[in-house]
């Protein structure tokens, strides 16, 4: 039993090291030990103390073992099962975190409906609570009430929670109106390579914000004499960059024009919410936004964010790879039209309901029924583009779909530095994914999926892609340390089980 315990720990350490991209020698150097010692540990041939396990976890930035609280969560997947019935799409993760940051603009009470109960939201709530914002779940935990204090206590910020979410960078836009100098921790989140913050700083400099970075912290100073004198042209048409500029413009007492703005779903939801706060936004859904800001906002508002198109794509991909008939309800179709057009060309058999309005009264929804299909590889490569193009976050799901299709598919994930690399993890489940460079993979299908035990990739969408492939693979697979999935999906395993999957949540060590 003791030997088996050591083997399991060794396997976890090996998988965490490989996902970090380190050799045994690099890990040994970080620990101040030898490569041969690391090799023995990974093979389960050496006794290892809890202190050493903790040191290894810190070096690899991976929760190998937890002390004093429940350990990392794993999933055991019995694959080869067909899905059936219907499943609802939850509200948008990315919209919810942007709206939570936006509540800092408002001196009044904000009520957000059907907020996604996910780790990313919990981290933002922990940060808000630590600086004095009162938040509570109401209506049987479905809705969220947020009441800010008269003065924020940024010195008390929960920096550990802040570092675990990339969304904390969207505090810059609201906070620059509340104080002349402040600091926030570096943003964290997925391991997707270098995510420069320069576009944020360039945009917010128009409002007098200057930021210096030292020892893991952004130090911000605001010059109140500075205000936008001309249109702000974003150097990157990014979602969070656009949101930060919107948040800054909302409390600027004047008119701000933002060009090269993202028009993606979470940006639109933020615009709709700002309108509830009394901020007029022209050009919603286009790349030029004109914001009529107000200097002070004190309103009690009630807003319902729309559904998540990326979750809808996840569920669609689940139906495709398991060759199932599944109805996905409340799909925000205007943010999936390109994806559906590509899938139609590949031969997807599906049916759409009549369109209807989301609870925000603006976003168009449909119910989508997907049926087993004989898919062919697309003629053109799969590559993302800013909305209304194929969504950046939906690209990884096409890897699982392409692996289920007949023929060869090129996927060019040009936005992130190394996300495409994680798609090669599908090879351990039987796929034929060839990495051409850090941004491109070539996939040959169809795939005869096979079960495997592996560590969860540290990037959200590739992690879910691995889970979907495990659902298609005959036999029992294990996906370890799925915190990253819980960052972006609410009760995903339980919800998939409700339509026929067999996924068991467990913890060990």
| Spatial contact of 462 and 419, defined as CB atoms under 8 Å apart | yes
Q: What is the pLDDT of residue 191?
A: 41
| Spatial contact of 405 and 423, defined as CB atoms under 8 Å apart | no
Say whether both 474 and 347 belong to one domain.
Answer: yes
> Where is the domain boundary, 281, 303, 325?
303
| Sheet hosting strand 288-292, strand order edge to edge | 232-233, 255-259, 288-292, 280-282
Say whether both 402 and 446 belong to one domain.
Answer: yes
Say whether both 266 and 315 belong to one domain.
Answer: no
> Where is the domain boundary, 303, 320, 340?
303
Alpha-helical segments (H) within 322-457: 337-346, 395-404, 419-422
Say whether both 327 and 290 belong to one domain.
Answer: no
Q: Please tell me the distance from the alpha carbon of residue 25 to that of residue 50, in angstroms, as a whole number.
A: 21
Say whether both 37 and 182 belong to one domain.
Answer: no
Say whether both 81 and 216 belong to one domain.
Answer: no
Q: Please tell me the distance from the alpha carbon of residue 163 to that of residue 189, in angstroms, as a whole number.
A: 8
Measured at the CA of 505, the angle between CA 503 and CA 509, to 5 degrees, comes to 140
Q: What is the CATH number of the domain that holds 39?
A: 1.10.260.40
Q: What is the CATH number of the domain that holds 269?
A: 3.65.10.10
Distances (CA, A) of 132 to 153, 156, 157, 218, 402: 6, 9, 9, 20, 48
Say whether both 147 and 179 belong to one domain.
Answer: yes
Q: Please tell me the distance from the alpha carbon of residue 426 to that of residue 353, in angstroms, as a whole number.
A: 33
Say whether both 81 and 205 belong to one domain.
Answer: no
Q: How many domains is the chain built from?
A: 3
Which residues of the chain fall below pLDDT 70?
Answer: 1-3, 19, 61-71, 187-196, 508-509
Question: Which H helix or E strand runs over 173?
Answer: helix 172-175
Helix axes 93-102 and 239-250, enclosed angle (nearest 10): 30
Coil/strand/helix, residue 467:
helix
Summarised one tens digit per residue, pLDDT across range 453-506 is 999 988 889 999 999 999 999 999 999 999 889 888 989 999 999 999 999 998
Sorted by sequence, the CB contacts under 8 Å of residue 43 that are 6+ apart come out as: 7, 10
Residue 404 CA to its chain's centroid (Å): 24
| Spatial contact of 262 and 389, defined as CB atoms under 8 Å apart | no
Say whether both 177 and 271 belong to one domain.
Answer: yes
> Where is the domain boundary, 69, 102, 127?
69
- Is the alpha carbon torsion for 392, 397, 402, 408 positive or negative? positive
Say whether both 80 and 111 belong to one domain.
Answer: no
Task: Find the domain containing 409 and state its range.
Answer: 74-89+308-507
Q: What is the pLDDT of residue 73?
A: 87
| Spatial contact of 467 and 488, defined as CB atoms under 8 Å apart | no
Say whether both 329 and 213 belong to one domain.
Answer: no
Q: What is the pLDDT of residue 19?
A: 66
Say whether both 81 and 103 belong to one domain.
Answer: no
Sorted by sequence, the CB contacts under 8 Å of residue 205 that are 6+ apart come out as: 226
Strand ranges (DSSP E) for 71-173?
73-79, 86-88, 110-112, 134-138, 143-147
Summarised one tens digit per residue, pLDDT across range 210-226 is 988 777 788 889 998 89
Q: What is the pLDDT of residue 435?
A: 95
């Amino acid at each position: 039993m003791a030997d088996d315990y050591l083997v399991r720990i060794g396997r976890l350490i090996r998988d965490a090291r490989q996902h970090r991209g380190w050799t045994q020698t690099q890990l040994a150097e970080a620990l101040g030990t030898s490569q041969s010692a690391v090799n023995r540990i990974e093979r389960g041939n050496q006794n290892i103390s809890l202190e050493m396990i903790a040191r290894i976890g810190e070096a690899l930035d991976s929760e190998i073992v937890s002390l004093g609280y429940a350990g990392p969560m794993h999933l055991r997947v019995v694959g080869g099962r067909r899905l059936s019935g219907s499943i609802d799409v939850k509200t948008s993760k990315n919209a919810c975190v942007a709206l939570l940051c936006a509540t800092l603009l408002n001196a009044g009470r904000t009520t957000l409906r059907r907020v996604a109960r996910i780790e990313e939201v919990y981290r933002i709530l922990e940060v808000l609570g630590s600086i004095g914002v009162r938040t509570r779940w109401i209506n049987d935990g479905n809705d969220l009430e947020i009441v800010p204090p008269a003065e924020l206590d940024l010195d008390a910020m929960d920096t550990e929670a802040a570092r675990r979410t990339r969304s904390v960078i969207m505090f810059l836009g609201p906070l620059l109106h509340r104080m002349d100098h402040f600091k926030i921790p570096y943003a964290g989140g997925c391991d997707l390579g270098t995510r420069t913050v320069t576009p944020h700083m360039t945009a917010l400099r128009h409002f007098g914000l200057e930021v210096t970075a030292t020892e893991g912290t952004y130090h911000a100073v605001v010059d109140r004499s500075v205000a936008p004198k001309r249109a702000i042209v974003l150097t990157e048409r990014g979602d969070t960059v656009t949101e930060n500029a919107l948040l800054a413009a909302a409390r600027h007492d004047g008119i701000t024009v933002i060009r090269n703005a993202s028009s993606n779903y979470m940006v639109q939801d933020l615009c709709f919410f700002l309108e509830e706060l009394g901020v007029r936004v022209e050009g919603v859904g286009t790349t030029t936004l004109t914001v009529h800001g107000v200097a002070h906002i004190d309103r009690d508002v009630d807003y319902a964010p729309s559904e998540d198109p990326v979750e809808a794509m996840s569920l669609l991909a689940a139906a495709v790879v398991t060759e199932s008939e599944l109805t996905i309800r409340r799909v925000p179709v205007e943010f999936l039209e390109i994806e559906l057009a590509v899938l139609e060309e590949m031969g997807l058999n599906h049916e759409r309901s009549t369109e209807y309005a989301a609870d925000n009264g603006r976003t168009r929804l449909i119910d989508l029924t997907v049926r087993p299909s004989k898919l062919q590889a697309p003629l053109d490569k799969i590559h993302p583009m800013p909305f209304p193009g194929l969504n950046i976050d939906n690209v990884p799901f096409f890897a699982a779909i392409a692996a289920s299709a007949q023929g060869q598919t090129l996927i060019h994930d040009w936005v992130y530095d190394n996300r495409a690399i994680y798609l090669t993890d599908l090879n351990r489940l039987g796929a034929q994914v060839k990495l051409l460079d850090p941004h491109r993979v070539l996939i040959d299908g169809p795939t005869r999926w096979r079960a495997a035990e592996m560590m969860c990739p540290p990037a959200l969408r590739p992690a879910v892609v691995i889970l979907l492939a495990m659902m298609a693979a005959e036999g029992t697979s294990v996906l370890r340390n799925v915190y990253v999935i819980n960052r972006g999906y609410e009760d995903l395993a339980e919800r998939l089980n409700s339509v026929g999957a067999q996924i068991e949540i467990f913890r060990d060590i």
